[in-house]
Structure 1
Amino acid sequence: MPDTILPISEIRVNGVAITGPEIDREVQYHPSETLAEARAAAAHALAVRELLRQACAARGIPLDDEEAAVEALLRAEVAVPEPDDAVCRRYHARNPARFRSADLFAVRHILLPAAPSDAAARDAAKLKAQALIAELADHPGRFADLAREHSACPSAAQGGSLGQVERGQTVPEFETFMVALEPGQLCPVPVATPYGYHVLHLEHRIDGDDLPYEAVRDAIHGFLRDSAWRQAVHQYLQILAGKARIEGIDLGGAETPLVQ
């Protein structure tokens, strides 16, 4: 995506203008932090599409179905070899962390609710969590009873149990403490999240195992094939852009908005 673009009237691909109304219609498909960034992304996408439409026309590919036409163009112009078994095995061997079953955490918590904007409620929730932690330090067997009595989470009905959760299934603040605890450990401090303060206890964890190559072979093959395809399409677009007369926008790093 370009950092800046020239006025809309000056954006042309081989003489074909990208108009303001076209960009305004396209903006909705490019959510960004600012309208200027969204309009730049929309202009960029439309310029790439025009470049591809012209390439289709030059090859005599009908444009009745634009997406199908671009797919036909890329099939004709872009060749990608299939990754063989040796390549897939090397990728598996070099990226062991990518191929593990998920770590599982059996965790209980007590939620003392407080909105992030309510400072008084946050202070009260933190004090209550500290009092519960102190009580549990003396009477660890009371966690389920205290959860049923005090927790605002639906898990209170199960004594605060969230069952088995994986990384990414809880908010980051909660996960940071959860993964740092030892099995059987009560978190010694209240855990602050956007929902309030939590009293947290890790019952046990099951570490994931390395997955054998045979279990992930198809996934690796698909990933490597798709990666090679995207890289080849990117290079093809750079060739098209290099041969075209493009005014008002930089198509460096161009990616097709039609083929995923």
Structure 2
Amino acid sequence: MTLNAYYELKAALALFGKEFSALQTEEQTRASDVARQYSAIEAVVLSSDEARGVCLAPGAVDGAIAEIRNRHPDEDSLAATLSHAGLTKQDLADALQRDLLVDAVMARVGAASGTVGDTESEIFYYTHLDRFHVPERRSARHILITINESYPDNTEEKALRRVEEIGKRLHSKPGRFEEQAIKHSECPTALNGGQLGEIRRGQLYAELDAVLFELKAGELSGPVRSELGYHLLRCDAIQPERTLPYAEVAESLRARLTEERAQRDAKRWLAGRLKQARATSTS
């Protein structure tokens, strides 16, 4: 059956990243089980009262097809995938339409839960303050001279000497850090003036981490040895640890709690519909 072939293909790609026909026997069994679950969900959702009047936005199916096409190197590759599954492009379009309708009905069910208000979101905020704690972060740059005994300019001794010379120039003219990084750093970050971005503790090599979090804002380190080589670090700014105030997170928190409640209620609704369908089929 065409629809079952589509769901077997969908399950195979989701579970194993391969076409159904390329799966081992045990994998095919697993994918077939999931395909049957997809089919059961589709049947109960689209036959529900909540599905009445649900329509897709213009171009929704075309957009879904384009997304699938973009996962393939060319049209021939997509055609081969469909052929192996026993599907035509029209079969794919029809199946995607039903798939998208299922999503639309589930979204409608979830939306019926309503929007989480300030009182509920504030209660969540104050009972989960630890989730809104932001650890200290430091904006930093570095210059790296690698150690490689196979190259005369990158022996341990030469690498240290080179980074010390760069350090001397920067101590007399700190504003040249980005220029010196572009000219001399042997890290890909050199292209961006040695910028490491915002760093939290534990993100760098331990030796670098220990030095960076002792620097003051604007301060330059001496040579720091890591397994890569010798580094110069500059701490550009310090964002101290803090707990985000409710006013700063209120809007995004309400939206997240609303979405989570919608998903939870939609799953509960679906579970009830599936249970009812199973009971009806066995009676």
Pair in the same fold by TM > 0.5: yes
Select the residue among 97, 101, 104 that pairs with 1:68. Answer: 101
Matches within 5 A, 1:237-248: 237-245=270-278
CA distance in 2, matches of 1:230, 1:190: 50
State the match for 2:119 in structure 1. Answer: 86
SS in 1 for 2:271: helix
Query: How many pairs were matched up?
Result: 218
After superposition, where does 1:123-202 map in structure 2 within 5 Å? 129-131=159-161, 141=171, 144=177, 147=181, 150-153=184-187, 156=190, 160-162=193-195, 165-167=197-199, 172-173=203-204, 177-178=208-209, 180-183=213-216, 184=219, 186=221, 189-192=224-227, 196-197=228-229, 199-202=231-234
* More helix by percentage: 2
Superimposed CA distance per residue, residues 209-248 of structure 1 (whole angstroms, 9 cap, x where no aligned partner): 54432232111110101111122222233334434559xx
Identity across the alignment (%)? 17
Q: Partner amino acid for 2:12?
A: V
In the alignment, structure 1 residue 205 sits paired with structure 2 residue 237: yes
Q: Which one of 21, 31, 35 corresponds to residue 46 of structure 1?
A: 35
Q: Is the 8 A contact 1:103 1:166 kept in 2?
A: no
What CA distance in whole angstroms lies between the structure 2 residues aligned with 1:156 and 1:74?
Answer: 46
Give the partner amino acid of 2:221. L
Once residues 187 and 245 of structure 1 are traced to their aligned partners in structure 2, the CA distance between those partners, rounded to angstroms, is 70
Structure 2 spans left out of the alignment, 5+ residues: 55-93
Q: CA deviation at 1:113?
A: 5.3
SS in 1 for 2:143: strand
Radius of gyration: which is bigger? Answer: 2
Instruction: Sort the Cα spacing of 1:198 and 1:108 in 2 relative to 1 into closer, same or farther, 3 A.
Output: farther
In 1, are the aligned partners of 2:145 and 2:163 still within 8 Å (CA)? no
C-alpha separation between the residues in 2 aligned to 1:84 and 1:210? 22
Question: With structure 2 as the length reference, what TM-score do the two structures score?
Answer: 0.53
> Within 2, Cα distance between the matches of 1:156 and 1:70?
46
Deviation readout 1:57-99 (Å, 9 max, x if unpaired): 4336479742234423563588424322111112222344544
TM-score after normalising by structure 1 = 0.57
Gaps of 5+ in 1: 1-15, 247-260
- 1:24 counterpart residue number: 9
Deviations 1:10-68 (A, max 9, x none): xxxxxx998567423543345669x6798688556533431222113433647974223
Amino acid at match of 1:152: E
